Amino acid sequence: MIERKNSFVQGMKDCVPTLFGYLSIGFSFGIVGAVSGLSMLEIGLISLLIYAGSAQFILCALLLTNTPPAAIIFTIFVVNLRHLLMSLTVAPHLTRYSLLRNIGFGTLLTDETFGVAVTEAIKNKKLYGRWMDGLNVTAYLSWFFACIAGAYLGRWIPNAEQWGLDFALVAMFVALLVLQLSNVENTKLIHYLKLIVIMLITMYILLQFVSVHMAVLIATVIVATIGVLTEK
């Protein structure tokens, strides 16, 4: 069992159940990126360097509205802060590996691979480096090729709105929200619903004074802080 779980190939196999999510969202991003005016090279580099579905969709939206580079960088930084928390959760299981190896594990960690890794850690009380590499590399390459495939197809779609692809980002966040809320206890569900209401009210108030981009950033920080302080 130990040899199997320390296998790169086994990590690849354990990644397979998550690949549909990578392929579908990555394909959608490629199309959205193409119709947003990005070249295939730019889409490929974004997929390799940012490697975060929500951040990549947000990047396209901000580019289309001519958002200043500093605001784009800060927005993506805030959106991806959750990866720091995910890495901190997995790190105690990988302390026997070098700093460079751990940077590699953390860099390629996503929501999906984090879920697989945490499940594995709970079951076997240990994570293995080669298994993590197989899991992460499989997800990474699948995401990249899905984005490139979508970018290629996107060149032949002149009007994304006609296919509803402009709604891809909203749909993805709605789906993530529904999945998140469907797996929580009733008491926590009420708490999260209250936070959603607070978020809507905060956004409405902020929009009276600042731009929509600043409103999103400020409201996110405020409501996230409230959520942490009131979490039971």
Residue spans of the domains in the chain: they are 2-183, 184-232
**Dist. CA 131–CA 14, nearest whole Å:** 9
Q: Which token pair is 117?
A: 């890794």
Residue 63 CB partners (closer than 8 Å, separation 6+): 36, 37, 38, 72
Share of the chain above pLDDT 70, in %: 84
Residue 213 has what pLDDT? 65
Average pLDDT (56-80) is: 84
Question: Is the torsion defined by CA of 43, 45, 51, 56 positive or negative?
Answer: negative
Q: What one-letter code names the amino acid at 23?
A: L
Average pLDDT (10-33) is: 85
Residue 57 has what pLDDT? 84
**What is the length of the chain?**
232
DSSP secondary structure letter of residue 96? T
pLDDT in tens, 76-126: 887 787 788 788 888 889 999 999 999 999 999 988 888 888 888 878 878
